Structure 1
Amino acid sequence: MRDIKLKTKHLGERLYYFNDVNSTNEKADILAANVAEGTVIIAKKQRNGIGRFGRAWISPVGGVYISVILKPKITPREASKISLITGIAIATVIRNLGLEAKIKWPNDVLIHGKKVCGILTRISTKDSKIDYAIVGIGLNVNVDISTFPKELQKSATSLNVELKKNLSVEKVIEDILYAIEANYEILKEENFTYLLNEWTRLSDTLGKKVMIKMKTETIKGAAVGINREGALILMCESGSLRNIIAGECIHLRTGDL
């Protein structure tokens, strides 16, 4: 991997690079409390990349595996905003390559309905405030999907598969961090309406019938919006509206509701 030439003002001022780690989020967990906001951990590959709900994220050489440490002045209830701005950033970078990237709530980026990127955000709280947030990103760039487990091959894709050429992983990292920083600055300026509009424009979930699996219940409904805390607004089968802060979202076929 060549030297990364960041275009950011602060994000990545302190950068830790590893050829091989268990997980970049695991490294970030160790560092987060004692490093400056904007510290970034990058790995060439991960031995035990973890997605949401503890699922494995296949992480061979050729992908982007980064964790960003942020210290936002928002409440824990607003933590969804961090995944939201990250999803916008990654979808925008991919669209600038000429691909039709969409965001699936809460934290997946898709191309033609196939998952190309996953985002895992963890927060640590102190006195009812966010002490720090760790944003883990796994993006398939120059990855051979045929080496994935068979059950994942139909639902996953990679930038090189879609573009039919390999890309500079370093350039993709540079562009992602630049886009995240730009959105984070907008969030800090409290211009969330702009970010909300961008997410809505890029969403693959809004307007669809969905099933949301949560810890204590599973509900079905229509995804009709995102509120100002970053929660999904669901119109339930009963006609009532619910704000969903976290859960697994499954897009349903027409008639499945």
Structure 2
Amino acid sequence: MSTRRALLDALRSGPVSGPELADDLGVSRAAVWKAVEALREEGFEVGSTDDGYVAPTDPAYCAAGIEFGLDAPYGVDYHDSIPSTNDRARRLAEEGQSDVAVVADEQTGSRGRLDRDWVAPSGGVWVSLLTRPKIAPARAPLVTLAAAVATTDACRAAGVDAGIKWPNDVLLRRTGGADPDAHESKAAAERGGEKLAGVLTEMEGEADRVSWLVVGIGVNANIDSEALPAGATSLRAVLGGDVDRRRSVIRLLDRLAELGADPDAVLPAWRERAITLGRRVRVETATGDVVGTAVDVEPPGALVIETGDGRVSVHAGDCDHLREA
């Protein structure tokens, strides 16, 4: 463990003296002091008392601020502004790195599925997690579903009633039934609710193994709804105030680590949070539209649709929620 991370972990339990930490890690007191100064330069304001170093009461939104309190075994690569967290994570993968969460306050060249534009201004939660899971590429969709579950849970922990539209859109759940609300845009109505967050997964691998996998997550957190496209909303707009993005990222990464360690828990958790199941849907696939009632999701993440001709399993496509007849 690095001196920096060890210092952050030690600060979680209270004041820690430089000599004590130096002895525990087998490093010099000068090395501990350098680690403290590096944290301060990063924006993590470590205090000094008679009992030793103490953590800030309200850590900043920075790499150290996120790592402080993080149980998941990930490092954090933070940027105030970056074109794309996914692009940065891919470059880190090419350098041989792993288990790194790239976090940005703002993305200037972000994109969604199918290279669609994705608005990612300052104030959102923009994070791309690079891992090297020991799974076959065919099971990679489970990671995407796990990311949707983790994102939904982070939104709910912030106080917003979120749900999942297949496969990985996180939406504000309606409170007035299945039919669209009068104020909703057509885009929101077709999704099944206003969009809070999305997931974009990329990977490289061979037929039998994944070399690396990047799961990019974008949450409209502390953003004014006027800055978002039609059909989208933000945590700020729903709650009427800002959320603690640092805590949201920590919850998100910790939950992802939990699900990564227990793949069998992913589909049951996804079903519990789904707003697509039980709805009439239309899924646009490469071979045509599939229309019917979504009844289940099966490994590794296919949507099962009851149609007039029987059940069909759809592995990929754009899903719209239809109004009930």
Settle same-fold status: TM greater than 0.5: yes
Report the Cα offset of residue 6 of structure 1: 4.0
Matched position secondary structure for 1:99: coil
The answer on 1:162 being equivalent to 2:238 is yes
Q: Does 1:79 align with 2:127?
A: no
Per-residue CA distance 1:152-196 (angstroms, 9 max, x = gap):
33x111111111111222221111111111111112xxxx1x322
Task: Report whether the alignment pairs 1:242 with 2:312.
Answer: yes
Aligned residues: 243
| Partner SS state of residue 83, structure 1 | helix
Which structure's CA Rg is the greater one?
2
Calculate the aligned-residue CA RMSD, in Å: 1.5
In the TM superposition, 1:1-257 aligns within 5 A as 1-2=61-62, 3-4=65-66, 5-11=68-74, 13=75, 15-112=76-173, 113-148=193-228, 152-153=229-230, 155-187=231-263, 192=264, 194-239=265-310, 241-255=311-325
Deviations 1:118-143 (A, max 9, x none): 00011212243221111001101100
Structure 2: 5+ residue runs without aligned partners?
Answer: 1-60, 174-192
Deviation at 1:27, TM superposition (A): 1.0
Matches of 2:159 and 2:219, distance apart in 1: 16
The TM-score, its normalising length taken from structure 2, stands at 0.71
Deviates more, 1:76-85 or 1:123-132: 123-132
Q: Which moved more, 1:68-77 or 1:105-114?
A: 68-77
Q: Which amino acid aligns with 2:218?
A: G
Q: Is the 8 A contact 1:211 1:251 kept in 2?
A: yes
- Residue 53 of structure 1 aligns to a residue whose secondary structure is helix
Q: Which amino acid aligns with 1:22?
A: P
1:29 shift after superposition: 1.6
Q: How far is 1:73 from its partner? A: 2.1
Residues 6 and 178, structure 1, Cα contact 8 Å, conserved in 2: no
Report the CA distance between 1:34 and its aligned residue. Answer: 3.3
Taking structure 1 as the reference length, the TM-score comes to 0.89
> Alignment identity in percent?
31
Question: Which whole-Å CA distance do the structure 2 matches of 1:110 and 1:180 have between them?
Answer: 19
